[in-house]
Amino acid sequence: MASLETPGAEPPPPPPPPPVYSWQPDSSQSPWLPDHPAGPPQPQLHSPTAPRQRRGAGGAAGGIVAALAAFFKYGLVALKFAKIGPTAISMVIAFGIYTLFFGPWFAVGVVLLILVHEMGHVLFSWIEGVPMSLPVFLGPFGAVTQLRGPLRDAKQEAIIALGGPLVGTVAAILVYLYATTLQPGHTQAFFFALAYFGCFINLFNLVPMSPLDGGRIANAISRWMNVVGLAIMLGFFLLFGNIFALILFIIGLFTTISRFRNAARGLEPRSVPPATRVVIGIVWLGMLVLAAGGLTVTHHAIVNGGVVQGVNQSSQNF
Q: Is 50 helix (H, G, I), strand (E, B) or coil?
A: coil
Task: Kindly report the backbone phi and psi dihedral angles of residue 39, in degrees, each rounded to the nearest multiple of 5, phi listed first.
Answer: 90, 175
Q: Is 9 helix (H, G, I), strand (E, B) or coil?
A: coil
The pLDDT value given to residue 200:
94
Q: Are strands 143-144 and 136-137 parallel, antiparallel or unpaired?
A: antiparallel
Task: Kindly report the backbone phi and psi dihedral angles of residue 304, in degrees, each rounded to the nearest multiple of 5, phi listed first.
Answer: -70, -25
Cβ–Cβ < 8 Å for 82, 292: no
Give 218-221 contacts, CB < 8 A, sequence gap 24+: 218/284, 219/154, 219/157, 219/158, 219/259, 219/268, 219/269, 220/154, 220/155, 220/157, 220/158, 220/271, 220/272, 220/276, 220/277, 220/280, 221/277, 221/280, 221/281, 221/284
Which residue would you say has higher pLDDT here, 122 or 40? 122
- Residues 6 or more apart in contact with residue 21 via CB below 8 angstroms: 31, 32
**Residue 109 burial (C-beta neighbours within 10 Å; 0-12, 13-18, 19+):** buried
What letter represents residue 231's amino acid? A
Q: Quick check: 35 pLDDT over 50?
A: no
Q: Quick check: 2 pLDDT over 60?
A: no
Q: What's the rounded mean pLDDT across residues 275-285?
A: 94
Query: Dihedral (C-alpha) 187, 106, 112, 148: value to the nearest 10 degrees?
Result: 160
Cβ–Cβ < 8 Å for 194, 116: no
Cβ–Cβ < 8 Å for 286, 292: no
For the chain, percent of residues with pLDDT exceeding 70: 70
Q: What's the rounded mean pLDDT across residues 165-169?
A: 96
Which residue would you say has higher pLDDT here, 19 or 27? 19
pLDDT confidence band for 25 (50 / 70 / 90): very low
pTM equals 0.69
The pLDDT value given to residue 276:
93
286-295: pLDDT as tens digits = 999 999 999 9
The pLDDT value given to residue 11:
56
The pLDDT value given to residue 13:
61
197-244: pLDDT as tens digits = 999 999 999 999 988 999 999 889 988 999 999 999 999 899 888 888
Which range among 2-6, 156-160, 260-264, 278-282 shows the weakest confidence by mean pLDDT?
A: 2-6
The pLDDT value given to residue 66:
54
Q: Quick check: 280 pLDDT over 50?
A: yes
Tell me the C-alpha distance between 24 and 73, whole Å: 66
Task: Kindly report the backbone phi and psi dihedral angles of residue 307, in degrees, each rounded to the nearest multiple of 5, phi listed first.
Answer: -115, 15
107-145: pLDDT as tens digits = 999 999 999 999 999 999 999 999 999 999 988 888 999
